Amino acid sequence: MTGSCLCGAVTYEVNGPLRPVVACHCVQCRKTSGHHVAATSALRADIAIAGEVTWYASSDAARRGFCGTCGSNLFWDGPGVNTSIFAGTLDGPTGLELIGHIFCADKGDYYEITDDLPCADQDDPELTTQVGG
């Protein structure tokens, strides 16, 4: 699976399985994306990045990676062995599907979550942990 930022200055390839997509409604994801984030994840060791990612330490435990040229949000990298990949940056059909929502207690007041997928008020390791992670 491959992906990139909007301008193409940062590209990546994932040489391993991707976790299904989880929507994160936390304040940080809303602030960095302008809405909520839909992300998959892969083992950090399975992701090969070409180009220069700008990393922002968004907390003591995690950092967010984006393209310094076009500003595309690409990655969330925190504790453990997985890196989250913003699903909208993947190229072509992915075969992935949305399996749930996390940090629903923080969601914006201007929208509702109307699907029947699991909704966790905070993080939910059952949704966000990938095999091998």
- Tell me, yes or no, if the pTM score tops 0.85: yes
* CATH 3.30.565.40 at 2-128, yes or no: no
Per-residue pLDDT, 2:
98
Confidence category of residue 30, pLDDT binned at 50, 70, 90:
very high
Residues 6 or more apart in contact with residue 116 via CB below 8 angstroms = none
pLDDT band of 129, cuts 50, 70, 90: confident
Question: Looking at the predicted structure, is the pLDDT value of residue 15 above 60?
Answer: yes
Q: Give the tens place of pLDDT for each residue, 46-104.
A: 999 999 999 999 999 999 999 999 999 999 999 889 999 999 999 989 999 999 999 99
Where along the chain do its domains lie? 2-128
Per-residue pLDDT, averaged over 117-121, amounts to 97
29, 78 contact by CB (below 8 A)? no
User: Is the distance from CB of 107 to CB of 29 less than 8 angstroms?
Assistant: no
3-class secondary structure, 73: strand
